[in-house]
Amino acid sequence: MKKLEEDRKLVMKYIQDGQLDISRIDDCISVDTRETFLRWIAQANLTVSKSRRTEYGQAFRLIKQEGSHTLKCEDGKLVMPKYIFQFED
């Protein structure tokens, strides 16, 4: 439970005004945070609506933008499409 709460806090700090824009992350993120983002992207991409709910209970819609972004991670760099997680109230 403690680990889940720590992971939640790390991820939540990137949410601004109801959205998480991958292209705005310039920090070096943890492996766990990267895996969380990739899990959300994969799960949302499996649905027609590109919508999903996080393990923390928040509903979001995945929006893919033009271009790519290099996400700096503890274990290297990940070049990926620019995504925005639009969270619902």
Note down pLDDT in tens along the chain; length 89 residues. 787 888 888 899 999 999 999 999 999 999 999 999 999 999 999 999 999 999 889 999 999 999 999 999 999 999 999 999 999 96
- Interatomic CA distance for residues 10 and 29, integer angstroms: 9
Number of other residues whose CB lies within 10 A of the CB of residue 17: 7
CA 83 to the chain's CA centroid? 8
State the pLDDT at residue 5: 84
State the pLDDT at residue 60: 97
State the pLDDT at residue 61: 97
